[in-house]
Amino acid sequence: MAHTLRDLLDDRLRPGVSLDEAARLLHAHPTHLVRAFGAAFGIAPHQYLMARRVELARRLLLDGRTPTAVAAETGFYDQSHLTRHFKRILGVTPGRYARAAPVHRR
């Protein structure tokens, strides 16, 4: 069940999927999904989804995209939403991360 939910989250990374929708698609109760996912991976499904989006955002920033464009491309509501999660996970804002990236990686 947890691995199937992880696959669903990976497949729906950009548009996202609500817990209720995932539960309906996987024929399980939302609470059961969260518990199974946490037991299997050590984090909540939402934390996993945000970490995957931040990783995608990091790669796009290294490709030279702006934080505003990256926020839209990775499924965040807006740049502020991206910045909050990016900084929480990586310890730096997307703009600062992009400016500090080596030139050869862009």
Per the listing, tokens 């609470």 go with 31
For 2-105, CATH gives: 1.10.10.60
Q: Indicate the domain borders of the chain.
A: 2-105
Q: Are 85 and 50 in contact (CB under 8 A)?
A: yes
- Phi then psi dihedrals of residue 92, to 5 deg: -150, 155
pLDDT at 106: 44
pLDDT bucket at 101, cuts 50 / 70 / 90:
confident
How many whole angstroms separate alpha carbon 81 and alpha carbon 83?
5
Which of 73, 14, 1, 88 lies closest to 49 in space, CA to CA? 14
Q: Write out pLDDT tens, residues 39-72.
A: 999 999 999 999 999 999 999 999 989 999 999 9
Residue 18 φ/ψ region, left for φ over 0, alpha for ψ in the -120 to 50 degree band, beta for the rest: beta
Q: Write out pLDDT tens, residues 3-21.
A: 999 999 999 988 889 999 9
